[in-house]
Amino acid sequence: MAAKPVPVKKKAPEAKEQVATPPVNPRGVALKENDIQQRKVLSTAWRARAEYGWDAGIAISRYLAELKNGRLVARKCNVCRRVMVPPRMFCEWCFRPTDEWVVLENTGRVNTYSICYVAWDATRIETPQIPAVIEIDGASPGMGILHLLGETKPDDVHIGMRVEAVWRPAAERQGAITDILYFKPLGRKA
């Protein structure tokens, strides 16, 4: 029996080194109004139907609704016994759903504060604002809300100072944290 011839592989020709040619204008060319009018550029015109809905979730929705009613509410976890404000539907300590709603007092203590001579838009202001974290009475220690202090001088503010909420008139409330105008030192008349 005759042996079959083995096919011989031909060597591929060696590739010649190619040099990339730089683009003529690497920065691009600005569009001209005439290019658009002559349809040299693809374009489209349409009106966006940008309608959005925002869902604050179960806990914050109820919290905001209660603010409109002039009440502060929290959620309680029966396992770790915490009362959380702002409310949340799960406990980040126990990793389980919270159990019940709790109505809180309109009073609390200053946990921390700042004296601000700069407004929200970075403009300087003569009369300082005093944002503070207020630990609300009835909530667990360390639980509170950030709000402004009013009816007090910066030198009179101190950590632990007792304060109470000053609410907008009921007809002006909108279901927002700004339904509380500010917190004032406890015992002062608005």
pLDDT value, residue 31: 81
pLDDT value, residue 11: 67
- For residue 38, what are the contacts with CB-CB under 8 A and spacing of at least 6? none
Is residue 171 in a domain? yes
Q: Is the pLDDT of residue 22 over 90?
A: no
Q: Is the pLDDT of residue 4 over 80?
A: no
Q: Is the pLDDT of residue 184 over 70?
A: yes
Closest CA relative to residue 177, chosen from 100, 85, 90, 103: 85
Is residue 25 in a domain? no
pLDDT value, residue 17: 67
pLDDT value, residue 150: 97
- Determine contact, residues 135/141, Cβ cutoff 8 Å: yes
Q: Please write the tens of the pLDDT for every residue from 137-156.
A: 999 999 999 999 999 999 99
Is residue 112 in a domain? yes
Is residue 2 in a domain? no
Domain assignment of residue 112, given as a range: 57-185
pLDDT value, residue 176: 97
Give CA–CA dist 29/38, Å, rounded.
Answer: 16
Give CA–CA dist 104/106, Å, rounded.
Answer: 7
Is residue 139 in a domain? yes
- Determine contact, residues 76/82, Cβ cutoff 8 Å: yes
Is residue 12 in a domain? no
Q: Please write the tens of the pLDDT for every residue from 91-123.
A: 999 999 999 999 999 999 999 999 999 988 999
Is residue 44 in a domain? no
Strand-strand pairing, 90-91 and 96-97: antiparallel
Q: Is the pLDDT of residue 174 over 70?
A: yes
Specify the pTM. Answer: 0.70
- Determine contact, residues 132/157, Cβ cutoff 8 Å: yes
Count of domains forming the chain: 1
Tell me the pLDDT of the chain averaged across its residues: 89
The whole-angstrom distance between residue 101's C-alpha and the CA centroid of its chain comes to: 24
Closest CA relative to residue 106, chosen from 164, 171, 155, 181: 164
pLDDT value, residue 43: 79
- Determine contact, residues 96/123, Cβ cutoff 8 Å: no
Is residue 100 in a domain? yes
Q: Please write the tens of the pLDDT for every residue from 44-55.
A: 888 888 888 888
